[in-house]
Amino acid sequence: MEVKVLKDILGANEQIAERNRQLLGSNNVFAVNLMSSPGAGKTSLILATIKRLKGKTKIGVIEGDVSSSLDAEMVGKEGVPVVQINTGGACHLDANMISNALGNMPLQDIELLLIENVGNLICPASFALGEHRKVIISSVPEGDDKPFKYPLMFHIADVVLINKTDLSPYLKFDTEAFSQAIKRINAKIEIFQISCATGQGIQQWVSWLLTQMSFLRGTKRIF
């Protein structure tokens, strides 16, 4: 019975996510769902991405948070449209929350929508938002065992960013073993090593993002 209820919830979420995807597509907006544990660097990545693409790509941001608006305020200072979602305690964003947020986002004025999910490696994996790509940020201080503990997350993601590589000299993080564990779960996944603090790898990340955007525009596979 519980399984049935969960399926109904996820089925309804899937339908709303598809509507979101169509709305985004009809406005030529490419959307990315950023997921990670708390403190892995989602907001830092958003800030680094905005800085790198300033004047080149029009960005909007949806900030999901359990209660505060600290991240939204920080991102808003960069002069991009930001919509804050307070989940009221819920540990993930869902498609309905995004549907409401999209009503407050100037979709005609943006090309790229960055969605910061709630910091959590479990249920965000089960809730589609209407995004075109799913991104996981793992960070060096968290350790290299995450693919074993949260395989579903790595199974559904398109790209993994290993953040805080500047801390590698001080911490035990086996990048090779980590990458191999991820590839065993998801052979197609792309992995980049980045540091939002030093800027290392941010150009590769942004290039990936732009390639995905133009590829989808060109093929009309999603849009």
Cα–Cα distance, 40 to 20 (Å, whole number) = 27
Residue type, 207: S
- Which of Zn ion, Mg ion, none has residue 12 at its interface (CB below 5 to 8 Å by kind)? none
CB of 36 to Mg ion, least distance (A): 9
Structural contact between residues 30 and 216, judged by C-beta atoms closer than 8 angstroms = yes
- Which of Mg ion, Zn ion, none has residue 92 at its interface (CB below 5 to 8 Å by kind)? Zn ion
Q: How many CB atoms lie within 10 A of CB 74?
A: 15
Give 37 or 43: the residue with its C-beta nearer to Mg ion. Answer: 43
Give 127 or 154: the residue with its C-beta nearer to Zn ion. Answer: 127
Show Cβ contacts of residue 138 under 8 Å, excluding neighbours closer than 6 positions: 36, 37, 40, 146, 160, 161, 162, 163, 178
- Which of Zn ion, Mg ion, none has residue 107 at its interface (CB below 5 to 8 Å by kind)? none
- Which of Mg ion, Zn ion, none has residue 71 at its interface (CB below 5 to 8 Å by kind)? Mg ion
Give 125 or 189: the residue with its C-beta nearer to Zn ion. Answer: 125
- Render 104-164 in DSSP notation, one character per residue: TS-GGG-SEEEEE--S-SSGGGG---S-SEEEEEEEGGG-S-HHHH-HHHHHH-SEEEEE-
Q: Tell me the two tokens of residue 145.
A: 């065992």
What residues line the site for Zn ion (CB under 5 A)?
A: 91-92, 123
Give 16 or 63: the residue with its C-beta nearer to Mg ion. Answer: 63
Q: Tell me the two tokens of residue 55.
A: 């004047």
What residues line the site for Mg ion (CB under 5 A)?
A: 42-43, 71
CB of 151 to Mg ion, least distance (A): 24
CA–CA–CA angle 174, 179, 184 (5° rounding): 130
- Which of Zn ion, Mg ion, none has residue 91 at its interface (CB below 5 to 8 Å by kind)? Zn ion
Give 16 or 35: the residue with its C-beta nearer to Mg ion. Answer: 35
- The residue of the chain with the least Cβ separation from Mg ion equals 43
Give 31 or 46: the residue with its C-beta nearer to Mg ion. Answer: 46
* 185: exposed, middle or buried (Cβ count in 10 Å: 0-12, 13-18, 19+): middle
Structural contact between residues 153 and 162, judged by C-beta atoms closer than 8 angstroms = no
- Which of Mg ion, Zn ion, none has residue 43 at its interface (CB below 5 to 8 Å by kind)? Mg ion
CB of 13 to Mg ion, least distance (A): 23
CB of 7 to Mg ion, least distance (A): 31
